[in-house]
């Protein structure tokens, strides 16, 4: 079983660029289905969620090639509209194929995506949106069948009861080639929504207001080929920024989009870090004991991102004072707490609240990655713990971080990935 081993105590110094955003590349790769031709997507990270998405595109009949961080999709050969259970289960966010497939073919058959480590992940908002477009939605033997083959998808006004990122993406994907205009109220405002709209508009789509709560999509007949570069991953950048804060030192993050990092910069400054923004570069440094962060409430963008909650909890574990977390987005996104306690952290969680009493130092421990972002909190804790930390179940981390051990080693960390081959039974 592979694992990551960290010897703590090294400061992070230097400069890095940040990988392309996982939560942008996934919906944009799905959106290439709507092009019915060739799309060239640059800055695609080497992460397993991208591999899983490419597998589904190939299953659907698309020709997909990869040249370094560029993925080229020819969706003109698409010949299926179903995603089997095995592929759906490989990646929880495969539900975003719903909008891409039905938007292209008028029908989509997907196995019901399971829940995952951080929650039940319901899809009621996605399915109700499809019905509002005039599609019929039925379930049969664990499959969801969405069909608008009779009259096609008709643009409409959709009010989201929650600004769901995935539901917003599915509505944009389904409405781009629909008849008429769609208006989304209470849309998600995450930067990845803007990137998706930018990609589709560069293919000739007519999407206005992405990044705001109201998005208007004028359906058009067809899209043309384009090239697109994925935005930098704000959560990966936030993860490493938190790592600099926890270990001290000074790192410049180059070619990021500082406005995407606002929700992280504010609490990091509260903890005593100095953060300097110049153009597309952000420099983080911290030389002294970190201070507690009074309250971290996860909220839809531009609030504090739930995807950085576990990492920020690792930071507050060694801050001076008590910090309070409220996880408002997912109902069970505290699985990493059990593992942080093994480092000697003092954390008490009840329901959506967690109270962190900072300790002077963490001690290296044998821990596991409980989920993608919980796993990143493990290597952050290991970076500043006294002694050695071994992290297993690192396939969770590989879903969203491209070679984190290499990035951190370049910055001065003593960290490596160990491939432990299964012992063959004699």
Among all residues, which ones are annotated catalytic? 116
Applying the rule CB under 6 A, the residues between 262 and 301 that interact with ligand EPZ are none
HSE at residue 360, side-chain half, CA atoms within 13 A, is 0
C-alpha 281/C-alpha 313 separation (Å) is 25
Binding mask 163-192 for ligand EPZ (x = CB under 6 A): -xxxx--------------------x----
In the complex, minimum distance from the CB of residue 27 to ligand EPZ, in angstroms, rounded to a whole number: 7
Identify the sign of the CA torsion 40, 41, 43, 48: negative
Pick the closer one to ligand EPZ by CB: 119 or 412.
119
Q: Which of 42, 63, 107, 121 binds ligand EPZ (CB under 6 A)?
A: 121
Give the binding range for ligand EPZ (CB under 6 A) out of 72-80, 104-112, 114-122, 417-425. Answer: 114-122
Instruction: Compute how many residues bind ligand EPZ; rule: CB under 6 A.
Output: 24
361 CB-contact burial (10 Å; exposed 0-12 / middle 13-18 / buried 19+) = middle
| Shortest distance (Å) from residue 214 CB to ligand EPZ | 17
Round to whole Å and give the CA distance between 26 and 23: 6
* Interaction of residue 306 with ligand EPZ, rule CB under 6 A: yes
User: DSSP string spanning 203-226?
Assistant: TT-EEE-BTBS-EEEE--S----E
Single out the segment in contact with ligand EPZ by CB under 6 A; choices: 51-59, 76-84, 119-127, 272-280. 119-127
Q: Is 119 one of the binding residues for ligand EPZ (CB under 6 A)?
A: yes
Strand order in the sheet with 249-254: 12-17, 249-254, 281-286, 274-278
**DSSP secondary structure string for all residues of 88-129:** HHH-GGGGGHHHHHHHHHSEEEEEPP--BTTB----HHHHHH
Name every residue whose Cβ is closer than 8 Å to that of residue 162 and which is 6 or more positions away in sequence.
Answer: 125, 186, 300
Q: Considering beta carbons, is residue 184 or 362 the nearer one to ligand EPZ?
A: 184
Q: 74 vs 339, which CB is nearer to ligand EPZ?
A: 339
Q: Give the gyration radius of the chain's Cα atoms.
A: 22
Instruction: Please pick, from the candidates 14, 86, 115, 124, the single residue that binds ligand EPZ as defined by CB under 6 A.
Output: 124
Does residue 26 belong to the site contacting ligand EPZ (CB under 6 A)?
yes
Quote the tokens at residue 244.
Answer: 């600099």
> Binders of ligand EPZ among 66-95, rule CB under 6 A?
93
DSSP lists the bridge partners of residue 40 as 72, 227
Site for ligand EPZ in 126-165 (CB under 6 A): 126, 162, 164-165
Binding site for ligand EPZ (CB under 6 A): 22-23, 26, 93, 119, 121-126, 162, 164-167, 188, 306-307, 329-330, 372-373, 400
């Amino acid at each position: 079983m592979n694992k990551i081993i960290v010897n703590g105590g090294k400061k992070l110094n230097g400069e890095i660029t940040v990988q392309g955003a996982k939560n942008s590349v996934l919906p944009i790769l799905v959106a290439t289905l709507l092009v019915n031709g060739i799309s060239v997507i640059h800055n695609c990270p080497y992460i397993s969620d991208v591999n899983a998405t490419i597998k589904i595109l190939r299953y659907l009949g698309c020709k997909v090639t990869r040249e370094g961080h560029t993925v080229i999709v020819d969706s003109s050969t698409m010949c299926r509209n179903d995603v089997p259970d095995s592929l759906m289960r490989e990646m929880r966010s495969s539900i975003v194929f719903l909008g891409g497939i039905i938007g292209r073919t008028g029908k989509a058959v997907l196995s019901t995506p399971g829940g995952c480590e951080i929650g039940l992940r319901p899809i009621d908002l996605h399915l109700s949106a499809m019905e509002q477009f005039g599609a019929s939605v039925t379930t049969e033997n664990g499959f969801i069948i969405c069909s608008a083959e009779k009259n096609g998808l008709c643009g409409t006004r959709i009010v989201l009861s929650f600004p769901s990122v995935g539901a917003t993406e599915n509505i944009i994907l389904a409405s781009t080639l629909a008849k008429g205009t769609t208006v989304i109220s209470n849309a998600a405002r995450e930067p990845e929504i803007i990137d998706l709209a930018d990609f589709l508009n560069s293919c000739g789509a007519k999407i206005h207001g992405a990044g705001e709560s109201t998005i208007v999509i004028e359906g058009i007949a067809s899209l043309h080929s384009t090239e697109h570069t994925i935005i930098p991953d704000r959560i990966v950048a936030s993860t490493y920024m938190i790592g600099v804060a926890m270990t001290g030192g000074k790192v410049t993050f180059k070619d990021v989009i500082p406005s995407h990092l606002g929700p992280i910069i504010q609490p990091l400054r509260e903890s005593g870090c100095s953060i300097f923004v110049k153009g597309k570069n952000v420099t983080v440094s911290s030389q002294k004991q970190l201070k507690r962060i009074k309250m971290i409430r996860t909220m839809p963008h531009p609030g504090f991102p739930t995807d950085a909650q576990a990492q920020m909890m690792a930071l507050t574990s060694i801050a001076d004072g008590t910090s309070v977390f409220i996880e408002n987005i997912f109902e069970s996104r505290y699985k990493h707490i059990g593992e942080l306690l093994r480092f000697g952290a003092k954390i008490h969680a009840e329901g959506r609240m967690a109270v962190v009493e900072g300790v002077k130092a963490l001690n290296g421990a044998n821990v596991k990655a409980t989920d993608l972002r919980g796993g990143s909190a493990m290597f952050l804790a290991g970076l500043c713990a006294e002694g050695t930390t071994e992290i297993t179940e690192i396939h969770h981390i590989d879903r969203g971080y491209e070679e984190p051990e290499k990035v951190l080693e370049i910055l001065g960390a003593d960290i490596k990935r160990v491939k432990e081959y299964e012992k063959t039974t004699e």
